[in-house]
Structure 1
Amino acid sequence: MTSVFNDLSGTLAPAPATLAQLADFAADAYGRREALVDGEVRWTFTRLRDEIAACARAALAQGIRPGDRVAVWAPNTRQWITAVLGAVSVGAVLVPLNTRYKAAEAADIIRRSGARLLLTERGFLGIDYVAMLRDAGEDLGGLSGTVVLRGEPAEGTIGWADYLAAGERVPDPERAARSAAVRPGDLSDILFTSGTTGRSKGVLTTHGRTLRVFREWARAVTLRTGDRYLLVNPFFHVFGYKAGIVACLLKGVTMVPEEVFDLERILPRVAEERISVLMGTPTVFHSLLDHPRRAGYDLTALRLAGVGGSGVGPELIERMRAELDVQAVFNAYGLTESTGVVCVCPPDEDARTVATTAGPALPGTEVRVVGADGAPLPPGEPGEVVVRGYNVMSGYLDDPEATARTVDADGWLHTGDIGVLDERGYLSLTDRLKDVYIVGGFNAYPAEVENVLRGHPRISDVAVVGAPDPRLGEVGVAFYVPAPGAAPDPAELTAWARERLANFKVPRRFHPVPHLPRNAAGKLLKAELRRTAQEPAAP
């Protein structure tokens, strides 16, 4: 069995085979190190293990059995971490809910997943999730209990203190036996896709798959013991939960959860807590770099940054390295169906490589670019990205037809993304299959157009979508966010694009907007932009 050296005691800690073993592993390997900082609370890995065990007994006291679904609808807090890992450690299956969901959306997932227990809050950003569900009168299926992690419990719910107190009556040997019975192939979570293009699907993932993927991810990005990681990405997302909580416990990294992205709070937090690891969208880092009072904060502990999503340009990577002195900057690509990771671009690559490629496949997995006939294409030829390996999901919840459409008989996951592989096997994402639009018979890839427009000095962000056109079939429509203090006009942007792109690729319309629509995970909501693009132009 693979072991990890404990640099405090000199002993070897056996690597965990399941998430049920993760807290014990972290306590054995990193015991007295600081594991978590949440407000005034500071816990070692040993204390964190004990808190998770208490939550495991509390889940047992509520009658949670192996395979039971436990939903969580709450922001990034220590209660989220301990309650979830406690339930999962005794065989429950996690079902996270987006904190921006409305009652109908949350109820749909609670019902479809068959959740028996809901962990939630009352008061996050002024939202009472319990009241939302109650007032909407939605069908919650087999839900039999609701635990309020923070805030006063409502009638018919269980408060956090009472939840833990009930667990005190469960003998710890019973908890330990239940944890020992969990197997690597057991289902660990059902993460629902964002549903930006239709009804969300529940992605099934196992304990063993999650641990293997994020061991390799942590190694690839150079996450290391002693790092201090500001967890801004929402825990309901695969990246916030697994590249955050799970990776930190595997590597002995201090977790500093943040409920919302607020630079006025984050800047002093990074300085005071000597944060060394920060992950986010390009918008996060642009905002950080451009903050007028950034120089007043000591950010010198930052050493590792992950930049994901669209809009990563070489200039951003260069600024992060020059102005923040963060030399280790990586990019990556993944989707929920690939347990969050397909490729990782090494953090020591040059700025252009980090900005324009997602790097090579996760070790031990395969990535191909294929044509319409499914045959592999040579380097430099764009086609659909397909993935095969231990990172591919078990399937979609209660949807064998969708599973069969997405994962073929040979085990290849069809991502729906268009990409190009170079001679090194580094993947560059071109676009989504569904985002490609056809102008007079020619394929136009929005990402290519967006990358050109982002090079304009008076634009800070841009998104391009296709819209119907009576003559050409479709044309490009660009929505752009002007740089601070700038006001570029459409003629200026059209001229810029025409100098750098074939005529059919140049957007026919440009619309300034204060910001681009994104969901809570930072994903651009192009469906909204398409609807706007199809509206008649104002007279």
Structure 2
Amino acid sequence: MTNSKAAPGIVGPFAGLDVPWLLRMRAEVRRAHPFLIWAPFDAPARRWSYGEFHERVGALAAGLAKRGIRQGDYVLIHLDNCIEAVLSWFACVELGAIAVTTNTRSAAAEIEYFAGHCGAVAAITQPAYAELISAHCKGLRWIAVTSHDAGQTPVQAPSRGDSFDSLFADSADRPRRATDPLAPCSVQYTSGTTSRPKAVLWTHANALWGAKINAAHQDLHASDVHQTYLPLFHTNALAYSMLASLWVGGSCVIQPRFSASRFWPVALEHGCTWTSTIPFCMKALLEHEVPRDHKFRLWGTAVNDPPPFAVFGVKIIGWWGMTETITHGIIGEIDQPNTPMSIGRAAPEYEIRITNDDGTPTGVGETGNLLIKGVPGLSLFAEYLHNEKATRDSFDEHGYFVTGDRITLLDRGYLKFGDRAKDMLKVGGENVAASEIEQVIAVVPGVREAAVVAKKHAMLDEVPVVFIIPQAGVAALPADLHDNVMTACRSALADFKLPREIRFVDEMPRSTLEKVAKAELRKMLE
């Protein structure tokens, strides 16, 4: 083991820099160029140039300071996609406060936990959530509420909180502080499964790393227009889309959320060239005509070149990342052919290990545990806030972060996602990956989406149960779909991997990024 004490004289890649520097620099050199384009569903798009956005951030930071927000304070930002969410994030980090972005699908108990755990002193939210925040976040000094719900007129005016617009002061009074790339910047709460969600703390260097490396991985340039509809409270939209666009001086179109019917019209109106997407969205887009004159040159998603989506006529690169890694630890090649359905290869900025449970290297064609090494506070998160034990336990004895994901090693260094370790089933002593069953069922005609979870079994410990959203809906369920699914499974899977039950549903519970909330599905089997 080498001495972990840092050697003197190290100059980091962001020495003397922080997030406010990046925005200020872009406002100076790209002042009139559009940075953010807000594209609400029921109103014309609104553009913010780099110069205008920088001024508004300064005015909001000055206003927050007048409202008593100080360096080191935690501010809850509980907002759906909107310009106010981005303004609030930048104003907090310019002030030296920590922006705590929370999932707007969170339940009351979760919101109460988030605010209490980080010690939030104030909250910025929207009318739909104002009552929730007010009722369950008792330690807040004040709450500010926007005038709309992600671009839509609220059902009723909020009875709690101050107006968001009242927070703004004079940008000439924007606060000044010493530049420290290792100062805390923002917090995101991970999804909790068997324990409380952990608060992932980023430094300013983490955010700059995300901006720079994401832009490089995506081959982004100043002429690119990034279409963003995934939630800004998550790393994907925050770092892969918005911060990466900022780094290169490009433009970022922000929609309230994903809408299949609005996707192409917005893309055409603004000349979008890039989007970060997920399989759920691409499947929905299959039902809409693809315009021949779109400007997209690249999409990024979970896997390289997924065959069902070749119809879009766009090169699709795969990637893997986590909130804790800020960017992609595994990335597809932009200028070379990729192995279809793989994630990509190890990103050069990290060290990747794939190991068996006993710590030995995983062989080609085998599936093992994914570990990743970077620099905490730079290429890896700084810590789990207020949880030293969880931070310590998330690294192995060699200093690698234990991701909890399982990866299959392919030829030529390509990697394929196996499963979350917690998403493995134990069927009569055999390990079964839920994703292996899902991949077989997903290509059966008539299946829109499939999710496999474990059901307790007296003899076998667990057995697989699949929830399926039919393409035509449950009301118009084809009579032979059940049999077709089972036939496909029998032809591709060992007998112990076969679903013991199929449940057809019109929708599934969702978590961040429209991922299926499998914990909720498991509860339905109890």
Calculate the TM-score normalised by the size of structure 2: 0.88
Question: Within 5 Å, which residues of 2 pair with 1:479-498?
Answer: 479-484=467-472, 487=478, 488-498=480-490
1:420-499 equivalent positions in 2, closer than 5 A: 420-484=408-472, 487=478, 488-499=480-491
Partner of 1:214: 211
Which residue matches 1:11? none
Shift of 1:219: 1.1
Aligned equivalent of 2:182: 185
User: 505, 515, 524: which one pairs with 1:513?
Assistant: 505
C-alpha separation in 1, matches of 2:454 and 2:113? 31
Q: How far, CA to CA, are the matches of 1:508 and 1:133 in structure 2?
A: 42
Q: Do 1:463 and 1:478's aligned partners in 2 also have CA atoms closer than 8 Å? A: yes
Identity level (%): 28
Residue-by-residue CA offset, 1:294-339 (whole Å, 9 max, x unaligned): 35x5651222212238xx883224223xxxx21x311211112222
Which of 298, 301, 325 is the equivalent residue of 1:307?
301
Q: Of 401, 411, 430, which residue of structure 2 is paired with 1:413? A: 401
* Aligned counterpart in structure 2 of residue 159 of structure 1, from 143, 160, 163: 163
Q: Distance in 2 between matches of 1:299 and 1:82?
A: 33
Specify the alignment match of 2:63 in structure 1.
Answer: 58
- Given that 1:70 and 1:94 are in contact with CA atoms closer than 8 Å, whether structure 2 keeps it comes out as yes
Match for residue 8 of structure 1?
A: none
Q: Deviation string for 1:445-492 (max 9, x for gaps)?
A: 111111122222232211112222233332211112223366243333
Which residue of structure 1 aligns with residue 50 of structure 2? 45
- Corresponding residue number in structure 2 for 1:236: 233
Counterpart in 1 of 2:331?
Answer: 344
RMSD: 2.6
Query: What do the CA deviations read for 1:52-89 (whole angstroms, capped 9, x no partner)?
Result: 22122122222222211111011111121122201211
2:494 aligned partner: 502
Aligned residue for 2:444, secondary structure, equals coil
> Does the CA-based 8 Å contact 1:347-1:354 persist in structure 2?
no
Look up the match of 2:319: 332
Give per-residue Cα distances to partners, 1:333-378, cap 9 Å, x unaligned.
Answer: 1112222532111245547x242x2212232211111222334333
- Other-structure match for 1:19: 19
* CA distance in structure 2 between the aligned counterparts of 1:69 and 1:247, rounded to whole angstroms: 24
Q: What residue number does 1:7 align with?
A: none
Once the 2 structures are TM-superposed, how far is the Cα of residue 235 of structure 1 from its aligned partner? 0.8
Q: What SS class does the counterpart of residue 424 from structure 1 fall into?
A: helix
Report the equivalent of 1:377: 362
Using a 3 Å threshold, how does the CA distance of structure 1 residues 409 and 66 change in structure 2: closer, same or farther? farther
Deviation for aligned residue 1:409: 4.1
Aligned equivalents of 2:411 and 2:511: distance in 1?
35
Stretches of structure 2 lacking an aligned partner (at least 5 in a row): 1-10, 39-43, 149-153
Report the Cα offset of residue 2 of structure 1. 11
Q: Which residue of 2 aligns with 1:131?
A: 131
Give secondary structure in 2 for the equivalent of 1:521.
helix
Contact 1:490 1:509 in 2 (8 A): no
Secondary structure (helix, strand or coil) at the match of 1:267 reads helix
Go from structure 1 to structure 2 and tell me whether the alpha carbon gap of 1:440 and 1:409 turns closer, same or farther (over 3 Å shift). closer
Q: Which runs of 5+ in 1 are unaligned?
A: 4-13
Q: Which amino acid aligns with 1:461?
A: E
Corresponding letter in the other structure for 2:295:
A
